[in-house]
């Protein structure tokens, strides 16, 4: 594995729009600048009286892909949705502990949640494009966030669709329903829609698991290309996928019916030299 890295591409350039355009596939360094962007300390999440996640402390590094692995129901999705406060939408959900993104406390009650969610975007397991045209799927959120000029919108549309490799496929039917696209195309459209708002963090909740193997491969390649430009946190049940694309991996497990973080480290270490027996059993397919 090469250790060489190009600071220019790995550091987050200032957001002048252009900086977010994806280049060709990066031959990825093992890890990026080891600078934590998201610092999670003693995070606990509970729904009503039922604790879902307990005492998680973890740093997520800027520009890297961090994979969350572990069996179903061990709090990975809860962890993910706390990071952009989507948990606010679940009645009875309580969050304790601290999360700082770029130094800012995102659990502060008076935080502008809408601004946070633009910065920390989420891609869901099931592709969820709006029942609008392909064009309006991208444009509507942009307009809502204040981009009104036709030329800007058009330019943005082409750029993000190119970034996710969809432009050539859909440029002749931008005003056709987004729901008529195939599952993989829909998921890439959702990623494009998120990228259009120029987030710095992308949360992905099993983005490939509802797709057929071919589309899944295309989306996976795309996620790999996001490395360096975006900080990606991805939940996946596909260990081979985690191994292929992630720089870091966090292994969650259910202890006394509550999700906990067992081990966190560089992806290679988690898969090749896990420090914990549970991790070893899980990544080798012996448990879970």
Which residues of this chain interact with other proteins, rule CB under 8 A?
A: 84, 86, 89, 91, 113-118, 121-122, 124, 126, 128-133, 136, 140-141, 144-145, 176-180, 190, 193-194, 197
For residue 114, the minimal CB distance to other proteins (Å) is 4
Question: Smaller CB distance to other proteins: residue 178 or 239?
Answer: 178
For residue 276, the minimal CB distance to other proteins (Å) is 32
Q: Distance from CA of residue 136 to its chain's centroid?
A: 23
Question: Smaller CB distance to other proteins: residue 113 or 278?
Answer: 113
Question: Smaller CB distance to other proteins: residue 117 or 229?
Answer: 117
Question: Smaller CB distance to other proteins: residue 166 or 249?
Answer: 166
Do residues 162 and 148 touch, judged by C-beta distance below 8 A?
no
CA separation for the pair 38, 156 (Å, rounded):
28
For residue 208, the minimal CB distance to other proteins (Å) is 17
For residue 117, the minimal CB distance to other proteins (Å) is 4
For residue 212, the minimal CB distance to other proteins (Å) is 18
In the chain the beta strands, taken as DSSP E runs, fall at 36-47, 50-61, 65-69, 93-101, 104-105, 120-123, 201-205, 231-235, 248-255, 258-266
CA separation for the pair 224, 27 (Å, rounded):
9
**What is the pairing mode between strands 36-47 and 93-101?**
antiparallel
For residue 224, the minimal CB distance to other proteins (Å) is 22
Q: Among 205, 11, 203, which Cα is nearest to 118's?
A: 203
**What order of strands is seen across the sheet that includes strand 50-61?**
104-105, 93-101, 36-47, 50-61, 258-266, 248-255, 65-69, 231-235, 201-205, 120-123
Question: Smaller CB distance to other proteins: residue 60 or 122?
Answer: 122
Q: Distance from CA of residue 55 to its chain's centroid?
A: 21
The DSSP symbol for 190 reads H
CA separation for the pair 265, 30 (Å, rounded):
12
Question: Smaller CB distance to other proteins: residue 187 or 247?
Answer: 187
The helix/strand/coil state of 227 is strand
For residue 215, the minimal CB distance to other proteins (Å) is 17
Question: Smaller CB distance to other proteins: residue 178 or 219?
Answer: 178
């Amino acid at each position: 594995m090469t250790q060489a890295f190009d600071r220019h591409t790995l550091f987050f350039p200032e957001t002048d729009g252009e900086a977010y355009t994806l280049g060709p596939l990066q031959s990825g360094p093992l890890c990026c600048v080891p600078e934590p962007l998201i610092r999670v300390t003693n995070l606990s999440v509970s729904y009503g009286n039922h604790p879902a996640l307990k005492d998680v402390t973890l740093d997520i590094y800027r520009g890297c892909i961090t994979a969350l692995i572990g069996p179903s129901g061990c709090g990975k999705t809860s962890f993910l949705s706390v990071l952009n406060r989507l948990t606010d939408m679940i009645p009875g959900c309580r969050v304790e502990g601290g999360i700082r993104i770029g130094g800012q406390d995102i659990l502060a009650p008076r935080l502008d949640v809408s601004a946070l969610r633009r910065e920390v975007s989420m891609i869901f397991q099931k592709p969820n494009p709006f029942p609008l045209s392909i064009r309006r799927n991208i444009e509507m959120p942009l307009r809502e966030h204040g981009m009104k000029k036709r030329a800007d919108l058009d330019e943005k549309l082409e750029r993000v669709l190119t970034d996710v490799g969809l432009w050539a496929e859909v440029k002749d039917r931008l005003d056709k329903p987004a729901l008529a696209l195939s599952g993989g195309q829909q998921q890439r459209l959702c990623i494009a829609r998120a990228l259009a708002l120029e987030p710095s963090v992308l949360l992905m909740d099993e983005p490939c698991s509802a797709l057929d193997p071919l589309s899944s491969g295309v989306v996976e390649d795309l996620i790999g290309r996001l490395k360096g430009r975006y900080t990606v946190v991805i939940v996946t049940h596909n260990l081979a996928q985690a191994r292929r694309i992630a720089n870091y991996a966090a292994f969650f497990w259910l202890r006394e019916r509550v999700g906990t973080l067992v081990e966190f480290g560089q992806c290679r270490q988690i898969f090749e030299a896990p420090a914990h027996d549970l991790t070893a059993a899980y990544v080798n397919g012996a448990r879970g």
